[in-house]
């Protein structure tokens, strides 16, 4: 019976039903009765219920693993799509936000710097003489970078002051001396004309006085050197204004949300450095 029981157990282990396994076993072992059948009459069949409990546990386990995997796909989709939407909303949100106040403050400072540069470029207030010149009847002289202004207002002999200033600042001193000067008490002209005309007038009045002639030559050189320095300063101010204007334009364009060319950042740094 041991061989029949072993053969029967092997068929059961291979998955054959109990009745088929019993039929096949009885063909080789006539009169064979499985040991499990004798135990069915027992009140507590421990081995028999243990097999149904093990088999259902082994079968649902893959199903339990597959269900979370199948459910993970829609869950991930539900997570990914809101995430993409969130990214899109984040990318659009800064457009509606207000720009930093410091950007507009920088633009305002640059604009003020440009205005001050314009005043320095075209104004005649780099050097201003004191009131002693007015008391001497020469008028108040104000020097710019390349021009100068003589204000004869309040001078005792106002017409004579206007006449002298008009002659010294004219392009042609001889022609200006022969015509009537304008009635305006403020006379303007290039610094270079003043240097050359003052030198010519001093030489004509010095005569043979060599010391006075030498002094006039030195004064002329100093005057022309100041005019040359003013010209260089004027060019520098122009370059600075261009740099400031370009920086202001780039800051304004970036502040209103417009895109700049690829090389604008590189040139923007250079222009800001030059403007500063």
CA–CA distance from 185 to each of 133, 137, 139, 178, 197 (Å)?
A: 15, 13, 9, 19, 20
Q: HSE-up of 45 (CA within 13 Å, CB side)?
A: 13
Mean pLDDT of the chain: 71
SS (H, E, C) the chain: CHHHHHHHHHHHHHCCCHHHHHHHHHHHCCCCCCHHHHHHHCCCCCHHHHHHHHHHHHCHHHHHHHHHHHHHHHHHHHHHHHHHHHHHHHHHHHHHCCCCHHHHHHHHHHHHHHHHHHHHHHCCCCEECCCHHHHCCCCEEEECCCEEEEECCCCCCHHHHHHHHHHHCCCCHHHHHCCCCCCCCEEEEEHHHHHHHHHHHHHHHHCCCHHHHHHHHHHHHHHHHHHHHHHHHHHHHHHHHHHHHHHHHHHHHHHCCCCCCCCHHHHHHHHHHHHC
- Distance in angstroms (rounded) separating the CA atoms of residues 270 and 136: 50
pLDDT at 48 over 70: no
What sign for the dihedral angle of Cα 74, 75, 79, 80?
A: negative
Neighbours of 165 (CB within 10 A): 25
Residue 264: CB atoms within 10 A of its CB come to 16
Structure tokens at 270: 């250079």
Lowest mean pLDDT: which of 95-104, 166-175, 190-199, 216-225?
95-104
Q: Hunting for tokens 């659009």 — which residue is that?
A: 92
Q: What is the mean pLDDT of residues 81-92?
A: 42
Q: How long, in residues, is the chain?
A: 276
Residues 118-175 have pLDDT tens digits of 777 777 666 776 655 555 566 788 888 888 888 888 888 888 889 999 999 999 988 8
- Which residue, among 228, 208, 231, has the nearest Cα to 220 in the 3D structure? 228
Domain locations along the chain: 1-42, 99-122+208-276, 124-206
Contact 247, 275 (CB under 8 A): yes
How much is the average pLDDT of 87-111? 61
pLDDT at 87 over 70: no
More confident residue, 84 or 177: 177
User: Using CA atoms, how far apart are residues 165 and 183, in angstroms rounded to an integer?
Assistant: 12
Residue 273 predicted with pLDDT over 60: no
> CA-CA distance, 229 to 208, in Å (whole number)?
32
Instruction: Report the alpha-carbon distance of residue 42 to residue 157 in Å, rounded.
Output: 148
The strand pairing partners of 188, in sequence order, are 149
Q: Which two tokens stand for residue 17?
A: 């039903």
Q: How far apart are CA 151 and CA 103, in angstroms?
A: 43
Phi, psi values for residue 170, rounded to 5°: -80, 155
Q: How confident is the model at residue 113 (pLDDT cuts 50, 70, 90)?
A: confident
């Amino acid at each position: 019976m041991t061989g029949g029981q072993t053969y029967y157990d092997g068929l059961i282990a291979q998955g054959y039903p109990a009745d088929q396994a019993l039929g096949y076993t009885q063909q080789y072992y006539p009169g064979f009765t499985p040991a499990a059948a004798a135990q069915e009459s027992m009140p507590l069949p421990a081995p028999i219920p243990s097999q149904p409990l093990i088999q259902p546990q082994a079968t649902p386990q893959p199903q339990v693993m597959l269900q979370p995997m199948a459910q993970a796909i829609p869950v991930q989709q539900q997570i990914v799509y809101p995430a993409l939407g969130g990214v899109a909303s984040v990318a659009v949100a800064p457009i509606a936000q207000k720009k930093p106040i410091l950007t507009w403050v920088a633009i305002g400072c640059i604009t003020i710097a440009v205005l001050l540069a314009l005043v320095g470029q075209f104004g005649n207030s780099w050097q201003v003489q004191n009131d002693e010149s007015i008391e001497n009847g020469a008028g108040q002289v104000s020097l710019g970078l390349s021009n100068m202004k003589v204000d004869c207002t309040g001078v005792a002999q106002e017409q004579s002051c206007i006449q002298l200033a008009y002659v010294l600042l004219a392009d042609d001193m001889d022609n200006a001396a022969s015509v009537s000067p304008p009635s305006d008490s403020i006379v303007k002209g290039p610094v270079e004309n003043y240097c050359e005309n003052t030198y010519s007038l001093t030489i004509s009045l010095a005569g043979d006085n060599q010391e006075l002639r030498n002094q006039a030559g030195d004064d002329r050189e100093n005057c022309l050197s100041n005019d040359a320095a003013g010209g260089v300063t004027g060019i520098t101010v122009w370059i600075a204004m261009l740099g400031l204007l370009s920086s202001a334009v780039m800051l304004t364009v970036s502040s209103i949300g417009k895109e700049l060319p690829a090389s604008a950042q590189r040139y923007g740094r250079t222009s800001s450095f030059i403007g500063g």
